[in-house]
Structure 1
Amino acid sequence: MKEKVYLYDTTLRDGTQGEGVSLSVEDKVKIAVKLDQFGIDFIEGGWPGSNPKDMAFFERMREIPLKHAVVTAFGSTCRPNVAAEEDDNLRALLESGVKAAAIFGKSWDLHVTDALKTTLDENLRMVADSVAFLKSRGLTVLFLAEHFFDGYKHNPVYALRVLEAAEEAGADWIVLCDTNGGSLPHEIFDTVRTVKASVQTPLGIHPHNDGELAVANALAAVQAGAQQVQGTINGIGERCGNVNLVSVIPNLQLKLGYDCVAPEQLKQLTKLSRFVAEIANMAMPNNQPFVGNSAFAHKGGIHVSAVLKDPKTYEHIDPELIGNKRRVLVSELAGQSNLLAKAEELEIDVALDRQEAREIVKRIKEREFQGYQYEGAEASLTLMLLEAAGKLRQLFTLDSFKILMEKTADQSISSEAMVKLHVNGQVVHTAAEGNGPVNALDNALRKALETHFPCLAEMYLTDYKVRVLDESGATAAKVRVLIESARDGEKWSTVGVSTNVIEASWEALADSIRYLLWKEGCEEAERPEQTEARVGIVNH
């Protein structure tokens, strides 16, 4: 039977101490429900004695039955020279209505004497009385030994006495905190192993990532005997963050053989990571291990060829085990294997013989030399593959567009775009305003097409990026425009390149609409009498 490692999530408390992270009560409730569904054992909801929002969260959670997780409140030991039963902080923990409480106490003598301004013996009294008080009220108590590893280095005898005081008072867990995040894995391993021989209470580890070693430190602690890991989803937290549970969990379960969550729950790891990032309004790094969009992306032709034969050649785990997926990138480094694999990944049923594949690869390399980039614009790549296979019907073409901009004396700026299209044999001429030239052009284009294709009313632009490709060209430099669009939760990206930013934007905008129409089944194989020309700009 696999050894169980308990997961303690502090995204809702320690995570919100990260710069730029702010969660409403409802945000915290939504995340808590997802954490419970995933199989997290303890969910730390906040510090009820510190602010009204955290207390409101605990009140909301009384109405929401969880299937597995134990909602936990965070606090500190009683204050110096104050009895535990008279301490407002500890009383707030009881008032929160939780069944478990995590309280931190000083284990580094420097903090006791210089920060708390009290004696070492009084600190031991504070720890013991606080744990005993909460235990007497029926709570599961986790004692967090703050700054333990620094304290152990400075005064190991006293650091262990703090743990013994918590244990003798009845603590259910003793959690060793690398609060400054500066310890090394071998130091963590040796210290945890020593503590394990000194106390009988189950141990946890709470590492921070200031040395970018939090995941390694958590694994070392578990291998040395810790049975609980405290961290956050995506590693958010103060300074450089807490340990990233998204990386810890698959390493423990898939690499080291520990039991953290059920296999079917582990498959939800990628969704959980992205859900929390979305709620916290944070952009996930593409290269985030395990769950990032690029974690299992293959670009080099030799790599792709090998992966298609045996994924183990370039993948350390099966991405499906954690809910991610393999991606094949098509770029100037691509070979035929990339292209054919990409067609299969995108579920494009095209019968490309080797000569056709070579021609498309050649075209992609030429276009990337011009500045196009298809790694981040898979919708444009999809359209290129469909065109090459003769499976794309032109539903609209551009006759012309004009853009007017006006700046008035009161400094206000307005933009208006006029677009003339050929749509299903008809000429459509329309205009629209926007808060900028690209927004106006987007509004006019969709206004012209929505009558024919109502689904466009539900599509919206979510991101717009411009990159200068030749800095030496100054204002005449070629630019690349990447546009991200969305509808019903699905997102797709398109690309345009030109020395004119409006023209590059038009190309990306047109591709974004053509892609949605293809997804909706509007785009079909072209009839012989139809032009093979793509949407382009006609000079007038």
Structure 2
Amino acid sequence: MSDSIKIFDTTLRDGTQGEGISLSVEDKLKIAQKLDELGVHYIEGGWPGSNGKDIEFFNRVQELNLKHAKVTAFGSTRRKNTKAEEDPNLTTLVASGVKVATIFGKSWDFHVHTAIQTTLEENLAMIFDSVRYLKSCGLEVIYDGEHFFDGYKNNPDYALQTIRQAQEAGADWIVLCDTNGGSMPEEIFEIVSEVKKQITTPVGIHAHNDCELGVANSLAAVRAGARQVQGTMNGYGERCGNANLCSVIPNLQLKLGFACISDEQLESLGPVARYVSEIANMHMPMNQPYVGSAAFAHKGGIHVSAILKHASTYEHIVPEKVGNKQRVLVSELAGQSNLVSKAAELGLNLEQQDGKAKEIISRIKDLEHEGYQFEGADASLELMMREASGELQEPFVLESFKIFVEKSADRPVSSEAFVKVNVNGESMYTAAEGDGPVNALDNALRKALLPFYPDIHRMHLSDYKVRVLDDKGATASKVRVLIESRNFENEWNTVGVSSNIIEASWHALVDSFRYALIGKSSIERESLDPRPVGLVNH
């Protein structure tokens, strides 16, 4: 490999400025630990001068046994017409206990006049004094030139003066920021190339994604000589987000030959990305490059037929290198190759010449015509395939269910469900209340099955989605219900379709329990033979 690139993660600071993202101190500590395990070089923890939560984070992060990353605190240059050593923002950075401080200053003369309303000379002094003060306190200093590219395009001489002041004051890194995210890759390359001629301090890049070019601009800067890249996990950040490190790192390492993290750490990229999205309570896009669940998913029959011969026919890298895996989707567009590959993945023997394959494909196409969608409901698909292959032993059979919903003037809506199921010849009739009809059904079915399958208490429904399939039908339209379920080890998705939302929900709910009980969800049990243990302890 060629030069090494330092990865600067600002998920805990810039990432939290994204709409809908709020992290507690505990959340930030958990993410910091994962980022360190991933091998990033700098973790920007927040702005200790702005809120008590960040101050607590910097106090507690020192208790973590970080092995790779340096924690850095963020702040700005001193205020105009003050002394650096008396500036509350800078003194708070020093008091935070970090060994690295990252401060930003103005590079754009327009911002100097309009935003902080001072002279160009005073702004240069603010940069120099702030960097010099932090260096005198023994800190490594990363200077972020805010709006550098806009400033350079408007007044290149002044923009270069600002970073020369940071260099003369002793900055360890000078990071050029495309703060508004409006620059093109060729502009980034040309400007970074020119900056490299003007200063000797190592250069970094901080790109935003307002033109969907955050990653491309980061790569352009590296090719021009930048050796630090700032970004966030999953591209979180203000407005359209920051450069996505989940794409930046593998692109640099696997495509351009730069060393960022170890190969073993790169293999954890997918799991870390998913972990961060879970902690942030943000949906992770399926089609996110490298780490998304659909990044190496194949649906078209021709594609699947080809990857069965050699994966590189439709995959640009080996998915496991970034902690992902190949997936074959089965839908109405699928050929028999998709089904045979999926069957092999499930341990089912289903040859293309076998008439069962054609029958299952035909069944899938009929169901998807009715509104089912199996590419987002692998558990329901597996149940159907096992049933068609004669390898499914039903853990229970529905006999009936009833739901009562009551609303009175002075009381909120209440729901009660009655479920009757047959387990190995024994009929169970239970009732349960819930926050809504689906929750009541879930509680009643769970209550009926617990005496026979006590480990089922380990699973729970984690998401519930409803989609109207034909809006012209108004309240009589068909709906598709997708249910996501989890236990301590896995998650799985099931689907149901009906013109009655309760029936559609029931189909998806029953499939979720059936899937759990055939053993694919790691619920521990000895066999499918039910074990009557009574309701005393449940």
Distance in 2 (alpha carbons) for counterparts of 1:483 and 1:499: 17
Unaligned runs of 5+ in 2: 530-538
Contact 1:128 1:166 in 2 (8 A): yes
| Cross-structure match for 2:186 | 186
Distance in 2 (alpha carbons) for counterparts of 1:412 and 1:109: 60
Larger deviation, residues 356-365 vs 514-523: 514-523
> Are residues 1:491 and 2:491 paired?
yes
| Cross-structure match for 2:109 | 109
Number of aligned positions between the proteins: 525
Contact 1:391 1:525 in 2 (8 A): no
Contact 2:455 2:524 in 1 (8 A): no
Q: CA deviation at 1:395?
A: 2.4
> Are residues 1:198 and 2:191 paired?
no
Distance in 2 (alpha carbons) for counterparts of 1:101 and 1:292: 33
Contact 1:209 1:241 in 2 (8 A): yes
| TM-score in terms of structure 1 length | 0.95
Q: Specify the SS of the correspondent of 1:402.
A: strand
Q: Specify the SS of the correspondent of 2:285.
A: coil
Distance in 1 (alpha carbons) for counterparts of 2:171 and 2:34: 28
Contact 2:343 2:350 in 1 (8 A): no
Deviations 1:23-43 (A, max 9, x none): 111111111111111110011
| Cross-structure match for 2:29 | 29
Q: CA deviation at 1:473?
A: 2.2
| Cross-structure match for 2:535 | none
Unaligned runs of 5+ in 1: 527-540
Contact 1:192 1:226 in 2 (8 A): yes
Q: Which amino acid aligns with 2:6?
A: Y
Deviations 1:76-99 (A, max 9, x none): 111111111111111111100111
Q: CA deviation at 1:253?
A: 0.4
Distance in 2 (alpha carbons) for counterparts of 1:488 and 1:63: 28
Contact 2:73 2:96 in 1 (8 A): yes
| Cross-structure match for 1:61 | 61
Contact 2:395 2:528 in 1 (8 A): no
Distance in 2 (alpha carbons) for counterparts of 1:472 and 1:10: 46
| Cross-structure match for 1:423 | 423
Larger deviation, residues 317-326 vs 481-490: 481-490
Distance in 2 (alpha carbons) for counterparts of 1:521 and 1:35: 32
Deviations 1:439-473 (A, max 9, x none): 11111111111100112112111111122222222
> Are residues 1:220 and 2:227 paired?
no
1:272-351 alignment, distance < 5 Å? 272-345=272-345, 347-351=346-350
Q: CA deviation at 1:521?
A: 7.7
Cα distance change, pair 103–525 in 1 and its aligned pair in 2 (3 A): closer
Q: Specify the SS of the correspondent of 1:412.
A: strand
Q: CA deviation at 1:525?
A: 9.6
Q: Which amino acid aligns with 1:349?
A: L
Q: Specify the SS of the correspondent of 2:463.
A: strand
Distance in 2 (alpha carbons) for counterparts of 1:206 and 1:12: 15
| Cross-structure match for 2:268 | 268
Q: Specify the SS of the correspondent of 1:81.
A: coil
Distance in 2 (alpha carbons) for counterparts of 1:77 and 1:179: 17
Q: CA deviation at 1:325?
A: 0.6
Deviations 1:406-455 (A, max 9, x none): 11121521111111111111111111111111111111111111100112
| Cross-structure match for 1:538 | none
| Cross-structure match for 2:6 | 6
Distance in 2 (alpha carbons) for counterparts of 1:436 and 1:525: 31
Larger deviation, residues 460-469 vs 25-34: 460-469
Q: CA deviation at 1:484?
A: 1.0
Q: Which amino acid aligns with 2:518?
A: W
Contact 1:10 1:44 in 2 (8 A): yes
Q: CA deviation at 1:522?
A: 6.9
Cα distance change, pair 522–136 in 1 and its aligned pair in 2 (3 A): closer
Q: Specify the SS of the correspondent of 2:518.
A: helix
Q: CA deviation at 1:387?
A: 1.0
Q: Give the share of equivalent positions with the same residue, in percent.
A: 64
Distance in 2 (alpha carbons) for counterparts of 1:14 and 1:452: 50
Distance in 2 (alpha carbons) for counterparts of 1:525 and 1:342: 24
Distance in 1 (alpha carbons) for counterparts of 2:66 and 2:82: 35
Q: CA deviation at 1:497?
A: 1.4
Q: CA deviation at 1:524?
A: 7.7
Q: Specify the SS of the correspondent of 2:509.
A: helix
Contact 1:348 1:386 in 2 (8 A): no
Larger deviation, residues 186-195 vs 314-323: 314-323
Distance in 1 (alpha carbons) for counterparts of 2:7 and 2:223: 15
Distance in 2 (alpha carbons) for counterparts of 1:497 and 1:164: 65
Contact 1:393 1:523 in 2 (8 A): no
Q: Which amino acid aligns with 1:395?
A: P
Distance in 2 (alpha carbons) for counterparts of 1:470 and 1:18: 34
Q: CA deviation at 1:475?
A: 2.0
Contact 2:460 2:486 in 1 (8 A): yes
Distance in 2 (alpha carbons) for counterparts of 1:471 and 1:114: 50
Distance in 2 (alpha carbons) for counterparts of 1:229 and 1:63: 27
Contact 2:518 2:528 in 1 (8 A): no
Contact 2:72 2:102 in 1 (8 A): yes
Distance in 2 (alpha carbons) for counterparts of 1:80 and 1:134: 17
Q: Specify the SS of the correspondent of 2:283.
A: coil
Q: Which amino acid aligns with 1:518?
A: I
Q: CA deviation at 1:228?
A: 0.4
Distance in 2 (alpha carbons) for counterparts of 1:245 and 1:322: 12
How large is the RMSD of aligned CA atoms in angstroms? 1.5
1:363-442 alignment, distance < 5 Å? 363-442=363-442
Distance in 1 (alpha carbons) for counterparts of 2:49 and 2:139: 17
| Cross-structure match for 1:446 | 446
